[in-house]
């Protein structure tokens, strides 16, 4: 069973206007801090590229539970990685993740092997507990099947199962983390909040929201979707503490939801990506 213990705290919305319906500056660092100090075992996912990173990383108490995503050009040598750790006074993080897997895959074979070997060295030296990739395109998964990583992060939601279909090519020990489960917060919004952009949203998503009218029910459906696809960990973004509490409560409900979600999956990748709406 998946519950709130499987939730990873996402930070894309932290001090940012990330998200289709997020016109403000997202959740404040102050309120986010209240959550992670209460949820002391929660993993926190962030990126060198996020606006909040410099604020978040100041708190040394959370360094050992951070998944840090970074572009390959900033972490392609041990020296660069150690320089980042030194700059932010980091001794160890939970996971270092290549944010732009597509650029990594364009490197020559020797360069790729060297980078993975660097990660293994840093793992042995206790700088990292794990390392992995953040996937952007479904076809990337087949291309990394022979690379020994710990974690692969993939987009996954009620519209998109294109990535999950390729997971079978990976080593069974690779830990799968889902992101974009709530489609940049659209599934957490009331129906009247999306009227201004409803013409752009895929019809199948509108049908999904009509069938599952309450936000709680949509969260339960998404949780069931994770369970059916054997994905245990999910990165969740939220705009405020009330939204986070609602997600946590819903993830802890023991009721199962009956559904046939294959009716909502889309094959056309351009329709799946929220930034195309």
Average pLDDT, integer, range 204-215: 83
Query: Whole-angstrom Cα distance, residue 55 to residue 39?
Result: 19
Percentage of the chain exceeding pLDDT 70 = 85
Backbone angles phi, psi at 157, to 5 degrees: -165, -170
pLDDT, position 60: 96
DSSP state of 170: S
In terms of Cα–Cα distance, which of 275, 273, 158, 155 is closest to 218?
158
Task: Specify whether the CB–CB gap between 148 and 203 falls below 8 A.
Answer: no
Average pLDDT, integer, range 196-202: 62
For residue 14, how many other CB atoms are within 10 A of its CB?
27
Task: Specify whether the CB–CB gap between 252 and 7 falls below 8 A.
Answer: no
Task: Specify whether the CB–CB gap between 163 and 155 falls below 8 A.
Answer: yes
DSSP 3-state of 94: strand
This prediction's pTM: 0.90
Confidence at 277, pLDDT banded by 50, 70, 90: very low
**Mind listing the pLDDT tens digit for each residue in 48-99?**
999 899 999 999 999 999 999 999 999 999 999 999 999 999 999 999 999 9
């Amino acid at each position: 069973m998946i519950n709130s213990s499987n939730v990873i705290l996402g930070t894309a919305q932290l001090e940012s206007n990330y998200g289709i319906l997020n016109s403000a500056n997202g959740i404040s660092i102050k309120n986010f801090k209240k959550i992670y100090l209460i949820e002391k075992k929660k993993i926190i996912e962030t990126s060198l590229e996020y606006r909040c990173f410099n604020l978040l990383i100041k708190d040394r108490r959370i360094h050992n539970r951070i998944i840090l995503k970074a572009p390959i050009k900033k972490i392609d040598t041990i020296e660069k990685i150690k320089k980042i750790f030194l700059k932010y006074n980091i001794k160890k993080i939970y996971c270092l993740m290549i944010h732009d897997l597509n650029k990594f895959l364009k490197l020559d074979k020797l360069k790729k092997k060297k980078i993975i070997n660097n990660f293994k060295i840093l793992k042995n030296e206790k700088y990292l507990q794990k390392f992995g990739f953040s996937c952007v395109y479904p076809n990337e998964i087949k291309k990394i099947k022979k690379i020994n990583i710990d974690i692969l992060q993939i987009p996954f939601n009620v519209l998109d199962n294109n990535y999950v279909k390729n997971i079978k090519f990976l080593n069974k020990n690779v830990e799968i983390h889902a992101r974009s489960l709530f489609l940049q917060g659209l599934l957490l919004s009331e129906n009247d909040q999306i009227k201004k952009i409803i013409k752009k949203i895929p019809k199948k998503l509108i049908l999904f929201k009509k069938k599952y009218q309450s936000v709680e029910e949509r969260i339960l459906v998404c949780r069931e979707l994770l369970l059916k696809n054997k994905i245990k960990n999910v990165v969740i973004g939220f705009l405020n503490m009330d939204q986070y509490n609602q997600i946590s409560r819903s993830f802890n409900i023991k009721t199962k939801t009956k559904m046939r979600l294959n009716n909502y999956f889309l094959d056309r990748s351009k329709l799946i990506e929220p930034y195309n709406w």
